[in-house]
Amino acid sequence: MSLAAALTLVEPLDRQTLGERAYARLADLLISGRLAPGEKLSLRTAAELLGVSIMPVREAVSRLVADKALEVTANRAVRVPIMSATQFRDLTKVRVTIEGYAAAEAARLRGDDDVAAIARAEAAMRVQSQKRTPDLPLAVELNKTFHFAVYDAAHSPVLVEIIRALWLKAGPVINLDLRGNPDRLAKGEAVRCHADVRKAIEVGDAEAAKAGVAADIAGAADFILSRGGLPS
């Protein structure tokens, strides 16, 4: 095989790798609430910040649009969708069902390493919430770490992939609100729910694990809806 022919095989793989990296970074921004609903995304700026050309970013954005985590407006601008209260309630119901199921599976299938990872994540979130001035962006990351430690313990890559897709949609609303409202963390409801989930998984109580995750998701949703920040 000639060198030119070999390069035609290698280059697409390189581009795909960069596209995957760009997708992962942009997805994390959405999941962590660093991009707000309605906020526009500049492909050129994103490419500069990620240290890649615009093509991998364009590929990543196309995937996120297909995931309905981003949208293209009439004037071709890319932005985070603005979620209505009705859409948010619907998304919350789906999350309660699917993520609750994942927690129940985790209680049934967890191993010792899973239990240890969940305990570490739960403790880190609890310690942060008890600080006089908690680091809210860090609390968001710790919250995500805890939830996905639970879902990983279900040992179903397909299930985790589905949940990540849900978090792509929910993250800009849920986690942006947490980052801007220390009162939500100070109330300690999420921390209590996390502790309940951890204990349930440790003893293999699937129903209690499911109920704890459902309470955590529903409690955060109720807090956000009560503030009236979402359009009807």
pLDDT tens digits along 133-145: 888 888 888 999 9
CATH of the domain at 123: 1.20.120.530
- Split into its structural domains, the chain has a count of 2
The Cα 231–Cα 7 span in angstroms is 51
DSSP state of 80: P
Mean pLDDT of 65-78: 91
- Structural domain ending residue among the three candidates 15, 46, 79: 79
pLDDT in tens, 53-69: 999 999 999 999 999 99
Q: Which of 79, 104, 125 is the last residue of a domain?
A: 79
Please give the angle made by the CA atoms of 129, 176 and 22, to the nearest 5 degrees: 110
User: What pLDDT does residue 140 have?
Assistant: 86
Tokens matching residue 171: 């993250």
Tell me, yes or no, whether 72 and 106 share the same domain.
no
Query: Could you tell me the CATH number of the domain that includes residue 73?
Result: 1.10.10.10
Mean of pLDDT values over 92-103: 98
Average pLDDT, the chain: 88
Check whether residue 72 and residue 108 sit in a common domain: no
- Write out the residue range of the structural domain in which residue 73 sits: 3-79
Same domain, 64 and 122: no
pLDDT band at 12 (very low <50, low <70, confident <90, very high): very low
Domain membership flag for residue 231: no
Q: Could you report the per-residue pLDDT of 166-207, keeping only the tens digit for each?
A: 999 998 888 777 777 777 777 778 899 999 999 999 999 999
Last residue of a domain, one of 13, 45, 79: 79
Report pTM.
Answer: 0.86
Residue 232 inside a domain? The answer is no
User: Residue 106, exposed/middle/buried by CB under 10 A (0-12, 13-18, 19+)?
Assistant: buried
Q: List the beta strands (DSSP E) in the chain.
A: 40-41, 71-72, 78-79
Residue with the larger pLDDT of the pair 185 and 123? 123
- Please, which residues have CB within 8 angstroms of residue 79's CB and are 6 or more apart in sequence? 38, 39, 40, 41, 70, 71, 73
Beta strands in 21-148 (DSSP E): 40-41, 71-72, 78-79
